[in-house]
A and B are shown apart, each in its own frame.
Chain A
Amino acid sequence: DAGVTQSPTHLIKTRGQQVTLRCSPKSGHDTVSWYQQALGQGPQFIFQYYEEEERQRGNFPDRFSGHQFPNYSSELNVNALLLGDSALYLCASSLGSGVEFFGPGTRLTVL
């Protein structure tokens, strides 16, 4: 049973560019959440997708957007990258509002 997978593992971008991160949820899960984890901090909730709709959103600007596909996989898009967007981006999946299972993350570096 495959767990949560994310791609790519690492990514380097420059300021002003756009990035797309991808996530496949654990088998049987229908809900995907995205988190940003800065160095030395805990994961910060970006948003959650359920039934292809954004169900909940954290305190992140509109530059952060997402999408959920019919197969429950999800994308996180960040536009107009800033240096401060450098972080580990974690995807978590769950069945409804249950326990979230995390992927290994994508390390984004903005130069």
Chain B
Amino acid sequence: DQQVKQNSPSLSVQEGRISILNCDYTNSMFDYFLWYKKYPAEGPTFLISISSIKDKNEDGRFTVFLNKSAKHLSLHIVPSQPGDSAVYFCAASAGNQFYFGTGTSLTVIP
């Protein structure tokens, strides 16, 4: 039972444009959400998080939006850079356990 879903396995974006990665969840008890970035042969690296009491959190080029009524979150990267090319995982928790999506592979084309 996949409680966190990333329905787009891959995404390609031109350098300088906006990248939007989407994530849906089913468990209304989730209260903390995170995005991780993963390069090949490395473990996931924490990118940005958001608590369920907020609907937006920004950190430089990265912004996460949370729509609790739709059980949907998204990660916006503006402007996209070739170094952003990686697999992005969203994760959610309701306590001590994190649930991960299956990832979206982002390719930023120079």
Instruction: List residues of chain A with CB under 8 Å of any chain B CB.
Output: 4, 33, 35, 40-45, 48, 50, 55-56, 58, 90, 92, 97, 99-105
- Asked whether B46 lies within 8 Å of A99 as measured between CB atoms, the reply is yes
Bound CA span A103–B89, Å: 15
Residues of A near B46 (CB, < 8 A) are 99-101
Q: Which of B35-50 contact A (CB under 8 A)?
A: 36, 41-46, 49
**B43 and A104 contacting across the interface, CB-CB below 8 Å:** yes
Q: Assess whether B42 is in contact with A42, with CB atoms less than 8 Å apart.
A: no
How many residues of chain B have a CB within 8 Å of chain A?
A: 23
**Chain B residues within 8 Å of A, Cβ to Cβ:** 4, 6, 34, 36, 41-46, 49, 89, 91, 93, 95-103
Which of B6, B44, B93, B96 is in CB contact (< 8 Å) with A55? B96
- Chain B residue with minimal CB distance to A37? B100
What are 27 A-B residue pairs whose CB atoms fall within 8 Å in the complex? A33-B98, A35-B100, A40-B102, A41-B102, A42-B4, A42-B101, A42-B102, A43-B100, A45-B97, A45-B99, A45-B100, A48-B96, A48-B97, A55-B96, A56-B95, A56-B97, A58-B97, A90-B44, A92-B43, A97-B93, A97-B95, A97-B96, A99-B46, A99-B49, A101-B46, A102-B36, A104-B41
In angstroms, Cα B98 to Cα A48, docked, is 10
Minimum distance in angstroms from B41 CB to a CB of chain A: 7
Q: Which of A42, A55, A101 touches B89 (beta carbons < 8 Å)?
A: A42
The 7 closest A-B pairs by CB, nearest first: A102-B43, A42-B100, A56-B96, A42-B102, A43-B100, A102-B44, A104-B43
Nearest-CB residue, chain A, relative to B41: A104
